[in-house]
């Protein structure tokens, strides 16, 4: 099998000084070395920029992009995508961590699939990184319609083959990641799940995904305002989404 080529890793960062070093270190420790990491500091009020700059000095594959004004994760991801040079796009949020073989195993898996997106299993970790949760499994594959009612794709596990998708951008919406996967799959193709535990997803208080009431509202708005679904169809998918979300996170 031919070498997969360069992977561009997209990392938006805001007030990430406490965790971004661990995140970067997990990338440097990857067994697959042909990557660039594009970290976009979204005008953090803490020392996020300083921490990233020190890592940039240690490894030239790490690149800092500084936003002129705070614009949110979607616009930060788009700033990185604009500068990405790889044929593969991987996403890694600034408080999450990959296991060392993540890229190597996922690239090997993805190359054998006729798929646009791949994603992996993972475990949650507590904010201090001490507590490790149960294994959260993923389905074999998801189509556009199946993804509408599913919470299986975690952003930091995603790998995208640009040869299959072409260039794409994130929409400036609350769940820009969910909307992006739907947009990519809307015209056909699959997201495929790799049944290996390769990610540690940090549960941080106050993060976008922790406010369950707002999360529910924004998922509904994604159906209605982004995907333009009718009320009945939205309700059908939302019910399945909510049940799967509860089952997925019923225990740590």
177-202 confidence digits (pLDDT tens):
999 999 999 999 999 999 999 999 99
The torsion angles phi and psi of 152, rounded to 5 degrees, stand at -70, -30
Determine the pLDDT at residue 114.
82
Does residue 248 surpass a pLDDT of 90?
no
16 CA to centre of own chain? 16
Spatial separation of the C-alpha atoms in residues 97 and 24, rounded to whole Å:
8
Its pTM stands at 0.93
Mean pLDDT score, 78-104: 98
The class that CATH gives domain 7-248 is alpha beta
Are the C-beta atoms of residues 35 and 9 closer than 8 Å to each other?
A: yes
Q: What is the mean pLDDT of the chain?
A: 94
Does residue 88 surpass a pLDDT of 70?
yes
| pLDDT tens per residue across span 47-79 | 999 999 999 999 999 999 999 999 999 999 999
Outline where DSSP puts E strands in 14-111. Answer: 35-41, 62-66, 88-91, 97-98
Does residue 208 surpass a pLDDT of 50?
no
């Amino acid at each position: 099998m031919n070498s997969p080529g360069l992977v561009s890793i997209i990392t938006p960062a805001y007030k990430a000084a406490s965790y971004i070093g661990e995140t970067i270190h997990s990338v440097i420790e990857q067994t697959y070395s042909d990557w660039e990491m594009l970290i976009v500091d979204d005008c953090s009020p803490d020392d996020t920029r300083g921490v990233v700059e020190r890592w940039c000095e240690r490894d030239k594959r790490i690149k800092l992009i500084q936003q002129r004004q705070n614009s949110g994760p979607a616009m930060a991801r788009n700033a990185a995508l604009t500068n990405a040079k790889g044929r593969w796009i991987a996403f890694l949020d600034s408080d999450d961590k990959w296991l060392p073989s993540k890229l190597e195993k996922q690239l090997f898996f993805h190359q054998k699939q006729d798929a646009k997106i791949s994603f992996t299993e993972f475990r949650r970790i507590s904010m201090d990184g001490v507590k490790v949760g149960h294994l959260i499994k993923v389905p074999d594959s998801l189509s556009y319609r199946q993804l509408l009612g599913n919470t299986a794709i975690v952003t930091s596990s995603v790998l995208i083959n640009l040869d299959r998708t072409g260039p794409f951008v994130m929409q400036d919406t609350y769940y820009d990641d969910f909307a992006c996967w739907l947009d990519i799959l809307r015209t056909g193709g699959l997201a495929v799940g790799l049944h290996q535990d390769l990610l540690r997803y940090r549960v941080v208080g106050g993060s976008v995904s922790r406010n369950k009431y707002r999360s529910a509202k924004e998922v509904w708005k994604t159906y209605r305002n982004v995907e333009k679904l009718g009320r009945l169809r939205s309700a059908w998918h939302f019910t399945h989404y909510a049940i799967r979300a509860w089952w997925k996170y019923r225990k740590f």
